[in-house]
């Protein structure tokens, strides 16, 4: 216990790291303040009560917006439009030669791609804002006894107000996330999602205590929930830090009159190369068509997305799991290039013991990475679908409780927390301070 406390104390001894931590905290505080700024014309408390009654996918979306969606604040769309635009751009880079050429240009090309991503985010925000505005109008008309809007006849002005408020809010979050990544600690977009999710944790714990005191939740079921919580946290740490280490032998080198013996190193391949990105991507994509279909008067679309793909149903679970596995392999394929790695090893004379250099090495690395990615993606799918299992077997019907005691939310919290701690640890080690783990750094499992 003393080791992490000493590491946090040391973090504030480094002026640069101290400034980064303070900037990150202040940026997240500003985000949470903005999450309660209401959109003109909407009764936030009345809407929150209606969203809680409806539940399902709306509660899931509300979780990622930190409660902003349920009250239709200026951050109602959250950061999800930016994530959706990033997914679309990542897919386009693979299939559009011009974008692929930009990516190969290095930092300048990536800057152009980021600009296109921002433009795509604004377009998605406008479309989703119109969808949310229409949803609010329809919800207001269906509950005349408990209106959620301040006017009975919302017109063009209300739609424009929603578009301006929601689009501006998401654009600010996009900018804030980039500022955190550049001037703070950790990935800004991931930390915004982290702050959104963790803001609902006190309410989830309070709900559990209330259910226990009222007898609606038995001690046996509670112990199972705690066990699942420990399993998810431990499993996430294990898979996130897990590596498959491949031994690489380098030849002897002659420098001047000295001869250096060949060195034997390890090439680490992460079990979960993509981190929590597949979960976030899959969740974001599954929200988008459902929101659009709910505001388009097309019968077969409503049947498919509102009935067949209802949140928690078997079709939704299958699609969710398939998307997580797809994005795990897709993101790994983008970030891990076995051909380039094999060429670099050949250039410096490195060989994998028992494997020929060149093409054979690339094929071997690709095969090993495919296997470890399969293990990591299956773990992500299992954790993401745990709330559905808890819902059906333990009869726990409260969405917030199932998400925080085993599911996507808990997985994201642990994953983002680990990544942020690693960045802080790098700053500490560079300046000869001990990190958060014993021995000065977070160690990974050996394959």
Mean pLDDT of 145-149: 80
- Tell me which of 102 and 408 has the higher pLDDT: 102
Q: What stretch of H or E contains 365?
A: helix 359-384
pLDDT band of residue 170 (cuts 50, 70, 90) is very high
Q: Whose structure tokens read 């505001």?
A: 295
pLDDT band of residue 435 (cuts 50, 70, 90) is low
> Could you tell me the residue ranges of all domains in the chain?
2-430
Mean pLDDT of 135-142: 81
- Tell me which of 273 and 28 has the higher pLDDT: 28
- Strand locations in 271-384 (E): 351-352
pLDDT band of residue 447 (cuts 50, 70, 90) is very low
User: How many other CB atoms sit within 10 Å of the CB of residue 309?
Assistant: 21
User: What integer pLDDT is reported at residue 290 of this predicted model?
Assistant: 64
pTM of the model: 0.78
- Tell me which of 43 and 291 has the higher pLDDT: 43
pLDDT band of residue 235 (cuts 50, 70, 90) is confident
145 pLDDT more than 80: no
CA-CA-CA-CA torsion for 243, 247, 251, 256, nearest 10 degrees? Answer: 40
Percent of the chain whose pLDDT exceeds 90: 9
Q: What stretch of H or E contains 48?
A: helix 44-54
- Closest among 245, 290, 248 to 128, alpha carbons compared: 290
Q: What is the pLDDT of residues 323-343, one digit of tens each?
A: 889 988 888 887 788 888 888
Percent of the chain whose pLDDT exceeds 70: 83
Q: Which CATH number fits domain 2-430: 1.10.3370.10, 3.30.572.10, 2.100.10.30, 1.10.540.10?
A: 1.10.3370.10
Mean pLDDT of 251-261: 58
Mean pLDDT of 277-294: 72
User: How many other CB atoms sit within 10 Å of the CB of residue 147?
Assistant: 15
pLDDT band of residue 176 (cuts 50, 70, 90) is very high
Q: Whose structure tokens read 């002659």?
A: 254
Mean pLDDT of 256-269: 66
Full strand arrangement of the beta sheet holding 264-270: 264-270, 243-249, 351-352
Least confident of 93-107, 177-191, 337-351, 393-407: 393-407
51 pLDDT more than 50: yes
User: What integer pLDDT is reported at residue 446 of this predicted model?
Assistant: 41
Mean pLDDT of 340-363: 81
- Closest among 356, 344, 349 to 250, alpha carbons compared: 349
pLDDT band of residue 184 (cuts 50, 70, 90) is confident
- 323 alpha-carbon distance from chain centroid: 14
57 pLDDT more than 70: no
248 pLDDT more than 90: no
107 pLDDT more than 50: yes
270 pLDDT more than 90: no
Taking 3-state DSSP, the helix, strand and coil percentages for the chain, each rounded to the nearest 5, stand at 70, 5, 25
């Amino acid at each position: 216990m003393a080791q992490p406390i000493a590491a946090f104390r040391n973090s504030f001894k480094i002026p640069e790291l101290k400034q980064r931590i303070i900037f990150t905290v202040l940026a997240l505080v500003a985000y949470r303040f903005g999450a309660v700024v209401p959109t003109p014309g909407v009764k936030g408390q009345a809407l929150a009560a209606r969203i809680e009654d409806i539940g399902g996918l709306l509660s899931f979306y509300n979780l990622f917006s930190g409660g902003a969606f349920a009250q239709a604040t200026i951050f109602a769309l959250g950061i999800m439009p930016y994530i959706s635009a990033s997914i679309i751009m990542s897919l386009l880079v693979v299939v559009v030669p011009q974008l692929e050429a930009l990516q190969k240009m290095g930092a300048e090309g990536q800057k152009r791609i980021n600009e296109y991503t921002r433009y795509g985010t604004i377009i998605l925000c406008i479309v989703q804002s119109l969808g949310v505005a229409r949803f609010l109008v329809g919800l207001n008309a269906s509950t005349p006894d408990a209106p959620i809007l301040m006017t009975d006849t919302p017109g063009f002005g209300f739609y424009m107000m929603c578009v301006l408020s929601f689009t501006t809010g998401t654009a600010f979050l996009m900018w804030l996330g980039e500022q955190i990544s550049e001037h703070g600690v950790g990935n800004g977009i991931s930390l915004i999602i982290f702050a959104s999710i963790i803001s609902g944790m006190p309410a989830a714990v309070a709900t559990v205590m209330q259910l226990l005191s009222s007898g609606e939740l038995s001690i046996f079921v509670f112990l199972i929930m705690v066990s699942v919580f420990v399993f998810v946290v431990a499993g996430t740490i294990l898979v996130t830090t897990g590596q498959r280490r491949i031994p690489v032998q380098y030849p002897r080198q002659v420098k001047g009159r000295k001869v250096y013996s060949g060195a034997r190193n390890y090439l680490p391949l992460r079990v979960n190369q993509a981190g929590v990105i597949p979960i976030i991507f899959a969740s974001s994509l599954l929200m988008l068509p459902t929101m659009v279909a709910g505001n388009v008067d097309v019968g077969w679309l409503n049947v498919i997305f509102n009935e067949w793909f209802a949140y928690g149903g078997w079709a939704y679970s299958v699609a969710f799991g398939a998307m997580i596995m797809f994005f795990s392999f897709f993101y790994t394929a983008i970030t891990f290039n076995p051909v380039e790695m094999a060429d670099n090893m050949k250039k410096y004379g490195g060989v994998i013991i028992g494997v020929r250099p060149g093409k054979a090495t690339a094929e071997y690395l690709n095969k090993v990475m495919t296997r470890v990615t399969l293990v990591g993606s299956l773990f992500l799918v299992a954790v993401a679908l745990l709330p559905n299992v808890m819902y059906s077997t333990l009869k726990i019907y409260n969405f917030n409780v199932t998400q925080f005691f085993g599911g996507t939310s808990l997985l994201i919290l642990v994953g983002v927390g680990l990544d942020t701690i690693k960045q802080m640890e790098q700053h500490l080690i560079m300046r000869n301070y001990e990190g958060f783990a014993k021995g000065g750094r977070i160690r990974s499992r050996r394959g």
